Amino acid sequence: MKSAAQRIARFNLRMLSSLIDPTLSSMVSLATANFATYANDFVPKQEGLRVILNGLGVPHVHWAAYEAYHGELYKLSKQYSGAGAIAYATTLIAKWVTVGAGALVEANCITIANDLYGIVVPPAAP
């Protein structure tokens, strides 16, 4: 997995002014700063996700599904807080457990939401 610095360097390389339309070059510095902020925030959480998955003994073949779930959870954490985040995370977990077709386990999804984002989601009723 690439570090935040590697991702930022690759983004900066793609944003060279010689490759961008002159009318957009004024936005390059803003885009570069925004991407750097995002990468420095997201990559540590992604690394934390992998630590959690290792600790839970999740097979590597299922990691892609958990990373997709984590991406949506990250977006949720930037848009909602409090009861709204808990309600949205509950539906998100139900969605990914259903879509994952056995790859994602509800208890693991709850652990990820709680440990990485502090969203305490109650287990679903049986």
What are the extents of the domains in the chain? 1-46, 58-126
Report the predicted TM-score, pTM, of the whole model to 2 decimal places. Answer: 0.78
Instruction: Please tell me the least confidently modeled range out of 18-27, 46-55, 83-92.
Output: 18-27
- pLDDT tens column, 72-106: 999 999 999 999 999 999 999 999 999 877 788 99
DSSP letter (8 states) at residue 100: T
Per-residue confidence band for 48, with pLDDT thresholds at 50, 70 and 90: very high
Round the average pLDDT of the chain to a whole number and report it.
87
Q: What is the DSSP letter of 118?
A: -
Among residues 22, 15, 103, 14, the alpha carbon closest in space to that of 60 is found at: 103
How confident is the model at residue 122, as a pLDDT? Answer: 87
- Written as six digits, the tokens of 90 are 């509950």
